[in-house]
Amino acid sequence: MSDIEIRAVRFDSPVAQRLVTAALAELGERYGGSGDDTPVDPADFEPPAGTFLVAYLGGEPVGCAGWRSHGDAGEAAELKRMYTAPAARGRGVARRVLAAVEQAARDHGRKRMILECGDKQPEAIAMYRSCGYERIPNFGYYRDSPNCISFGRTL
């Protein structure tokens, strides 16, 4: 969609935090609790170690995602805080944001994208699979959770 604009922003910016708060609220509805207790430091999303992006549709912020470095080799990027506002779903926002996050990671030398997803997010799982992501062994904060499904893809 040509009317989707994607901009890099600071993770701790007001626009990013509004979207992240909405994402966590939705995850909280699906899973309970805070939605995601994974420790996240805003500095994780500062280049060259990461990037955070916000999608705008008609000038309104409607989606976000970021990547942060994962592991010691500097080759992997972890997708975090992927979200599309309900009113903008079905319009290609998530796929555009995902493609932009992947490109930003590639631009910073990352060769692989990994992510954790929950089993109560069938829409996200279907999108990741259709974009070439495959199941990988669980990792990270939720690696031992029975609800965690991890994916990875070569960039």
pTM reported for the whole predicted model: 0.95
- Rounded Cα distance, 39 and 56, in Å: 26
CATH architecture of 4-154: 3-Layer(aba) Sandwich (3.40)
CA distance to 25, 29, 114, per residue, from 32 (Å): 9, 6, 24
Q: Can you give the pLDDT of all 155 residues of the chain as single tens digits?
A: 459 999 999 999 999 999 999 999 999 999 999 889 999 999 999 999 999 999 999 999 999 999 999 988 789 999 999 999 999 999 999 999 999 999 999 999 999 999 999 999 999 999 999 999 999 999 989 999 999 999 999 99
Tokens representing 86 are 């309900």
- Rounded Cα distance, 61 and 46, in Å: 20
Domain ranges of the chain: 4-154
Name the nearest CA neighbour of 57 among 7, 86, 93: 93
